[in-house]
């Protein structure tokens, strides 16, 4: 069995190079963006461009032919099939009831790119830059108090009807009226008005006196839905349904079997197939998703050739299970491809809405129950690396005591800043001995913390407070998750029980799990937060207090005035250096709040596929791009069929 492995140097370089250059002068926009024009409007200059970034830097000029990392001559054709664990009962990805099928946003586009982010960012070799898709030009003043999008007249929905500014305005308002409350509240406060200027021009106005960060890209990424279809059908955005509105994207739904399979086919009449932004992309004729009850069944389907591509996330399987005949015969290819982005912050989340976690000593004691070193050695084959921060491995990772500039930032806040945050190194995960699950040193430290927090052990070995209430914790788990994650969670719960905590492990089916996560009906759960990657208003939904009780993006229900203010400072930054400083301060503040027990990450992409798919030699740093810019080789596929490797 041979694996092709990327060198660590490539990833390290990608991490160093990911940040856009700090550009503050408007003349640089004119120098790097051939389509950016400026005209006087009173005292303000009006910027017109083929793309947008907050500080004005764009890598690709107006006349770019294709993104650098794609193969512009990639052939179209073939099928890729992927296994999905769990169930679905809806094709509407925006429903607040039920569970939507995977990739169900793949048919929708926006003014500045595709809605299906998982298919690959646009572009995947830069960060914070956006280029027009439904819009060919954007126009805004220096102060970014409004924006006008000039739309492509040729854009069409899959039913042949034109995509107009009326559809964009309708979609924007539909999200406010029927979308997530946390989203709607935030957007209404920042975007008070939208105006359709004509069929192909739409203008958004932004609230005075607030940060302009993420406002233009916020409206630029609203999915384009057909106003005509919604009005004719009476459909609601938030309802569970199998029928979906037509999209303008490259793929349409071909076949749906509830909780069994979904097939998306490339639209041969896709209006945007020849745009430079789409060259070398959307190469598969069909994308087939096969659903299985759990990850074990999904892996068996791959081994049998029922599905043909797999991104592996389970280290135990990656290290030990890829020894079946199709691998030995060279029919299945294994690769470790570079991942240039900082890892997401995955782990065991505390529900801070539970009173039991108000005392940080309880959280610290509970965290001692997770033994990363034993887990990595015994369950993960030593292949995981530990997350140290919310921006692990980047220049934004807070280290040591705050420097002069960072300290000044904290001291400028109205929120109370704990002295320990200013005079100590940032919190890092505890260490444990790897030779046994129970690290007795950590167990003693945890039990002492619980005693100090008012949860002593009774005669029955269980912990109670002064009111006689048990220290009870429920760990909610998705039954479709991997056996390795299940073993990890159960080992953690076992250690909690050894502390005298009445801890339970509850595995529920995917539909119930989705509902309970939305309702925050858990004490502990495996989930995560995105890595800090620049600054944006999305952090207010992820980490902010305003929507903490109901935001599905904030599983810990984190509500910290300190974090809120640091985010506001970051959003108000006027230079790249100011933004970078705020991101570092945010990392330090989030680690201080302590709401996540990191469980580690895989440094590269692990992929296994039947050897009929190909990809560019250099994978861009911010997307693996399998469904975006990989392609199908029909000669290789025929050879596999003749060898009996595929069903």
Per residue in 282-336, pLDDT tens?
999 999 999 999 899 999 999 999 999 999 989 999 999 999 999 999 999 999 9
Per-residue pLDDT for 6 more than 60? Answer: no
Task: Give the bridge partners for 81, in sequence order.
Answer: 288
Say what the pLDDT of residue 127 is.
Answer: 84
Say what the pLDDT of residue 179 is.
Answer: 86
R_g of the chain, CA atoms, integer Å: 25
Mean pLDDT, residues 179-200: 91
- 246 within a domain of the structure (yes/no): no
Mean pLDDT, residues 273-284: 96
Lowest mean pLDDT among 95-99, 225-229, 526-530, 603-607: 95-99
Say what the pLDDT of residue 42 is.
Answer: 54
Question: pTM of the entire structure?
Answer: 0.84
Say what the pLDDT of residue 556 is.
Answer: 96
Per-residue pLDDT for 490 more than 60? Answer: yes
Domain end call among 198, 233, 268: 233
Q: Each residue of 421-460: pLDDT tens digit?
A: 999 999 999 999 999 999 999 999 999 999 999 999 999 9
Residue carrying structure tokens 């912990």? 463
Longest pairwise C-alpha distance within the chain? 80
Residue carrying structure tokens 């950016």? 36
Say what the pLDDT of residue 341 is.
Answer: 85
Say what the pLDDT of residue 459 is.
Answer: 93
Domain end call among 174, 203, 233: 233
- 634 within a domain of the structure (yes/no): no
229 & 350 share domain = no
pLDDT band at 371 (very low <50, low <70, confident <90, very high): very high
Contact call for residues 345 and 531 (beta carbons, < 8 A): yes
φ/ψ of 408, rounded to 5, equals -65, -40
Per-residue pLDDT for 182 more than 50? Answer: yes
If residue 355 lies in a helix (H) or strand (E), which one and from where to where?
Answer: none
227 & 359 share domain = no
CATH assignment at residue 129: 3.40.190.10
Total domains, the chain: 2
Contact call for residues 15 and 393 (beta carbons, < 8 A): yes
User: CA triplet 625, 626, 631: central angle to 5 degrees?
Assistant: 115
- CA–CA gap between residue 579 and residue 569 (Å, rounded): 8
Which pair of structure tokens corresponds to residue 267? 């639209």
Mean pLDDT of the chain: 90
- 362 within a domain of the structure (yes/no): yes
* Residue 414: Cβ-neighbour burial (10 angstroms; 0-12, 13-18, 19+): exposed
Say what the pLDDT of residue 94 is.
Answer: 85
Say what the pLDDT of residue 385 is.
Answer: 94
- CA–CA gap between residue 481 and residue 290 (Å, rounded): 16
228 & 377 share domain = no
Domain end call among 183, 217, 233: 233
One-character DSSP codes across 560-605: -HHHHHHHHHHHT--SHHHHHHHHHHHHHHHHHH--EEE--B-SEE
350 & 227 share domain = no
CATH assignment at residue 414: 3.10.105.10
Say what the pLDDT of residue 550 is.
Answer: 80
pLDDT band at 115 (very low <50, low <70, confident <90, very high): low
Total residues belonging to the chain: 647
Share of the chain above pLDDT 90, in %: 78
Q: Each residue of 535-546: pLDDT tens digit?
A: 887 888 899 998
Q: Each residue of 22-42: pLDDT tens digit?
A: 322 323 333 333 333 444 445
- 313 within a domain of the structure (yes/no): no
3-class DSSP state for residue 287?
strand
Which of 158, 155, 123 is CA-nearest to residue 136?
155
Share of the chain above pLDDT 70, in %: 92
- 309 within a domain of the structure (yes/no): no
Q: Each residue of 123-137: pLDDT tens digit?
A: 999 988 999 999 999
Say what the pLDDT of residue 22 is.
Answer: 30
Tell me the CA end-to-end span of the chain in Å, nearest whole number: 22
Say what the pLDDT of residue 183 is.
Answer: 82
Containing structural domain, residue 120: 24-233
Helix axes of 576-593 and 404-411: crossing angle, nearest 10 degrees: 70
Mean pLDDT, residues 390-394: 92
- 409 within a domain of the structure (yes/no): yes
Q: Each residue of 420-430: pLDDT tens digit?
A: 999 999 999 99
228 & 351 share domain = no
421: left (phi over 0), alpha (psi -120 to 50) or beta: alpha
> Which ranges of 250-382 would DSSP assign to H, the alpha helix?
295-304, 315-320, 325-328, 360-367, 372-378
Per-residue pLDDT for 602 more than 60? Answer: yes
- 277 within a domain of the structure (yes/no): no
- 421 within a domain of the structure (yes/no): yes
> Pick the residue with more confidence: 267 or 534?
267
Mean pLDDT, residues 507-530: 93
């Amino acid at each position: 069995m041979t694996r092709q492995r990327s060198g660590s140097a490539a990833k390290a370089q990608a991490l160093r190079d990911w940040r856009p250059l700090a550009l503050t002068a408007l003349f640089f926009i004119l120098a790097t963006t051939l389509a950016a024009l400026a005209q006087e409007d009173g005292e303000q200059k009006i910027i017109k461009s083929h793309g947008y970034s907050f500080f004005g830097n764009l890598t690709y000029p107006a006349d770019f032919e294709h993104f650098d990392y794609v193969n512009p001559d990639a052939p179209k054709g073939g099928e890729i099939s992927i296994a999905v664990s769990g169930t679905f009962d809806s094709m509407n990805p925006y429903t607040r009831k039920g569970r939507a099928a995977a990739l169900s946003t793949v048919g929708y586009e926006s003014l500045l790119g595709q809605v299906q982010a998982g298919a690959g960012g646009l572009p995947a070799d830069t960060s914070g830059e956006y280029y027009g898709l439904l819009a060919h030009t954007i126009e805004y003043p220096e102060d970014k108090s409004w924006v006008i999008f000039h739309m492509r007249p040729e854009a069409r929905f899959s039913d042949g009807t034109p995509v107009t500014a009326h559809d964009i305005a309708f979609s924007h308002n539909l999200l406010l009226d029927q979308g997530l409350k946390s989203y709607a509240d935030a957007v209404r406060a920042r975007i008070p008005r939208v105006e359709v200027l004509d069929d192909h021009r739409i203008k958004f106005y932004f609230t005075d006196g607030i940060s302009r960060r993420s406002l233009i890209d916020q409206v630029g990424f609203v999915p384009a839905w057909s106003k005509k279809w919604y009005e004719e059908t009476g459909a609601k955005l938030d309802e569970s349904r199998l029928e979906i509105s037509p999209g303008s994207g490259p793929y349409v739904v071909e076949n749906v079997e509830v909780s069994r399979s979904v097939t998306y086919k490339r639209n041969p009449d896709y209006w945007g197939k020849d745009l430079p932004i789409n060259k070398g992309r959307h190469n598969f004729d069909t994308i087939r998703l096969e659903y299985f009850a759990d990850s074990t069944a999904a892996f068996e389907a791959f081994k049998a050739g029922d599905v043909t591509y797999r991104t592996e996330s389970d280290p135990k399987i990656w290290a030990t299970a890829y020894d079946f005949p199709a691998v030995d015969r060279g029919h299945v290819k294994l690769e470790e491809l570079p991942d240039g982005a900082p890892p997401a912050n995955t782990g065991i989340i505390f529900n801070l809405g539970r009173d039991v976690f108000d005392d940080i000593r309880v959280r610290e004691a509970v965290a001692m129950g997770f033994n990363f070193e034993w887990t990595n050695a015994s369950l993960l084959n030593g292949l995981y690396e530990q997350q140290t921060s919310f921006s692990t491995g980047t220049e934004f990772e807070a280290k040591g005591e705050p420097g002069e500039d960072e300290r000044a930032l904290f001291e400028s806040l109205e929120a109370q800043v704990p002295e320990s945050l200013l005079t100590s190194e940032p919190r890092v995960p505890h260490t444990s001995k790897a030779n046994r699950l129970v690290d007795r040193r950590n167990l003693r430290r945890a039990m002492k913390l619980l005693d100090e927090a008012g949860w002593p052990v009774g005669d029955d070995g269980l912990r109670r407070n002064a009111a006689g209430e048990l220290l009870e914790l429920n760990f909610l788990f998705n039954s479709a998750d991997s056996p390795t994650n299940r073993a990890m969670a159960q080992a953690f719960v076992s250690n909690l029980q050894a502390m005298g905590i009445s801890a339970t492990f509850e595995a529920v089916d995917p539909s119930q799990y989705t509902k309970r996560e939305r309702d925050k009906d858990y004490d502990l759960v495996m989930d995560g937060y995105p890595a800090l990657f620049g600054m944006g208003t999305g952090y207010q939904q992820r980490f902010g207090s305003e929507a903490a009780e109901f935001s599905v993006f904030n599983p810990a229900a984190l509500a910290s005035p300190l974090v809120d203010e640091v985010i506001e400072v970051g959003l108000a930054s006027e230079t790249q250096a100011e933004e970078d400083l705020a991101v570092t301060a945010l990392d330090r503040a989030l680690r201080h709040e302590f709401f996540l027990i990191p469980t580690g990450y895989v440094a590269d992409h692990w992929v296994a596929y039947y050897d009929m798919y190909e990809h560019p030699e250099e994978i861009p740093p911010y997307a693996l791009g399998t469904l975006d810019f990989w392609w199908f080789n029909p000669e290789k596929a025929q050879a596999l069929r003749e060898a009996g490797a595929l069903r």
